[in-house]
C-alpha cells in the first residue's frame, strides 16, 4: 500500500451533494419501484441500478472519481481493478473524458462483463481472483501505469455512490431500512453515509452470500476479518476474501448489521424479480432482496438495492431452471 495514502475520514454530506451535480449528465436517476408480493411479506421497494447506462451502480462512483482527477490525473490514462462493473464504470467515464483506460480484470468474470469493458474501450489484463484481490491492497500491478482509481476505497468513488441515498430518501421518505450487497464496501458506505446524515433512524444493512461473507464475520468480531471458506459462485459482484481494514473503518459507523443468505435464497430472489417486476438482476443485485425476505431487516418499508443486471443470459437461465418447480 502506498506510504502516501491519506488516512480514512468521514465523507461529508456536502461532498455527496456536490457529486450529484457533477455526475448528473452521466448517470440516470433510477426508479424506485414497489415489489408487489401480497400479504405476509415485508414492504419492499427495488432501487433499480441495473438501469444505469452500464447496467450497474458503479457508474456513479466512477463518474465522480474520474471527474475529480483533473487534467494532471488523467494525463497518463486511468486504470482500475474489477470483476466487471467497476471496470465498466471507469471505462465509461474515461471514454467520456477522452482518456485511455486499463482494467486489471478477474479472468473468471462473466463474459458479458468482459465484453462490455472492451466495447467501452478498456484494455484488459486478465488475472486470477487472488491476484486481483492482492493488487487492490497494493494499489499496483506490474506493467500497468496511469492514475489508479480504486473501485471502492476512494473518497470520490464513495461520494458518487452516496448520491443514491439522496434519491432513495426523496422518493421514499418513509423508508425504514436499506439493504445493499457488500463486495468491497463502497456502496453500503456511500449510501449509509448519505442516509445517516439525513435520517439517522434509517437502518442500513449489508448482504452477503454464505460462500463469501467476511463482512458478517467482521461485524460479529468487531474487527476486519478474512473469510477462510471463500468459494466462487454466480454471485460474482459481492463477497470478498476479506474486509480491508480501511474499509472496515469506513463501514462500521454507518452499518447496522450484515445479513447472510444462501445461494438458494439468492437464486429465488433473482427469479422473484423476473416474475414479479420483469427485472433481470445479477447475483449480487439479488442479495438485498433475498436478505429482505428473511425478515431480519423488519417489515419495512425496505429498499433493496438492485446493484446491477450484468449477468450472462445463459447463467440467468440456469438460475431460473434451478428454482423451477
pLDDT mean over 75-102: 93
Q: Does one domain contain both 220 and 311?
A: yes
* Domain's final residue, options 84, 113, 148: 148
* Domain's final residue, options 94, 114, 148: 148
**Under the phi-then-psi rule, with left for phi > 0, alpha for psi from -120 to 50, and beta for the rest, what region is 55?**
left
CA distance 262 to 209: 6
1 pLDDT above the threshold of 70? no
E strands along the chain, which residues? 32-35, 44-48, 78-82, 101-106, 123-127, 147-148, 177-181, 203-209, 257-261, 302-306
CA distance 34 to 9: 35
**Whole-number percent of the chain with pLDDT over 90:** 88
Bridge-based pairing of strands 257-261 and 302-306 is: unpaired
Q: Is 87 a member of any domain?
A: yes
115 pLDDT above the threshold of 60? yes
Contacts of 227 (CB under 8 A, 6+ apart): 212, 213, 214, 217, 239, 240, 241, 242
Per the document, the length of the chain is 325
3 pLDDT above the threshold of 60? no
* Domain's final residue, options 121, 148, 175: 148
Q: Does one domain contain both 302 and 257?
A: yes
76 pLDDT above the threshold of 90? no
SS3 58: helix
pTM for the model stands at 0.95
| Structural domain range at position 262 | 13-56+159-322
On whether the CB atoms of residues 190 and 160 are closer than 8 A, the answer is yes
pLDDT range class, residue 72, cuts 50, 70, 90 = confident
CA distance 302 to 320: 25
- Predicted pLDDT at 2: 56
Q: Does one domain contain both 26 and 165?
A: yes
Question: Each residue of 178-237: pLDDT tens digit?
Answer: 999 999 999 999 999 999 999 999 999 999 999 999 999 999 999 999 999 899 899 988
pLDDT range class, residue 83, cuts 50, 70, 90 = confident
Q: Is 109 a member of any domain?
A: yes
Number of structural domains, the chain?
Answer: 2
pLDDT mean over 75-85: 91
Q: Is 266 a member of any domain?
A: yes
Q: Does one domain contain both 73 and 95?
A: yes
263 pLDDT above the threshold of 70? yes
66 pLDDT above the threshold of 60? yes
pLDDT mean over 307-319: 95
Q: Is 153 a member of any domain?
A: no
pLDDT mean over 134-151: 93
**DSSP annotation of 91:** H
CA distance 263 to 99: 39
Amino acid at each position: 500500500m502506498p506510504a502516501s495514502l491519506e488516512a480514512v475520514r468521514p465523507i461529508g454530506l456536502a461532498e455527496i451533494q456536490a457529486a450529484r451535480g457533477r455526475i448528473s449528465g452521466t448517470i440516470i436517476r433510477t426508479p424506485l419501484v414497489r415489489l408487489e408480493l401480497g400479504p405476509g411479506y415485508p414492504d419492499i421497494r427495488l432501487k433499480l441500478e441495473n438501469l444505469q447506462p452500464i447496467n450497474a451502480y458503479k457508474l456513479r462512483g466512477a463518474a465522480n472519481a474520474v471527474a475529480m482527477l483533473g487534467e494532471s490525473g488523467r494525463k497518463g490514462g486511468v486504470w482500475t481493478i474489477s470483476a466487471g462493473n467497476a471496470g465498466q464504470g471507469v471505462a465509461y467515464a474515461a471514454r467520456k473524458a477522452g482518456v485511455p483506460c486499463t482494467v486489471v480484470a478477474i479472468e473468471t468474470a462473466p463474459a458479458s462483463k468482459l465484453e462490455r469493458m472492451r466495447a467501452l474501450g478498456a484494455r484488459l489484463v486478465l488475472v486470477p481472483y487472488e491476484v486481483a484481490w492482492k493488487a487492490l491492497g497494493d494499489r499496483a500491478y506490474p506493467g500497468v501505469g496511469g492514475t489508479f482509481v480504486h473501485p471502492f476505497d476512494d473518497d470520490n468513488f464513495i461520494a458518487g455512490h452516496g448520491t443514491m441515498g439522496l434519491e432513495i430518501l426523496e422518493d421514499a421518505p418513509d423508508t425504514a431500512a436499506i439493504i445493499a450487497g457488500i463486495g468491497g464496501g463502497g456502496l453500503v458506505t456511500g449510501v449509509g453515509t448519505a442516509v445517516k446524515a439525513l435520517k439517522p433512524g434509517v437502518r442500513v444493512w449489508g448482504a452477503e452470500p454464505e460462500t463469501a461473507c467476511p463482512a458478517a464475520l467482521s461485524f460479529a468480531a468487531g474487527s476486519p476479518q478474512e473469510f477462510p471458506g471463500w468459494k466462487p459462485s454466480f454471485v460474482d459482484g459481492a463477497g470478498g476474501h476479506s474486509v480491508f481494514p480501511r474499509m472496515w473503518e469506513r463501514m462500521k459507523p454507518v452499518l447496522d448489521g450484515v445479513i447472510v443468505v444462501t445461494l438458494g435464497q439468492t437464486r429465488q430472489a433473482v427469479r422473484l424479480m423476473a416474475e414479479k417486476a420483469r427485472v433481470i438482476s445479477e447475483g449480487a443485485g439479488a442479495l438485498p432482496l433475498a436478505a429482505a425476505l428473511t425478515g431480519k431487516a423488519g417489515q419495512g418499508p425496505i429498499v433493496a438495492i438492485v446493484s446491477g443486471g450484468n449477468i450472462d443470459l445463459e447463467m440467468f437461465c440456469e438460475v431460473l431452471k434451478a428454482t423451477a418447480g
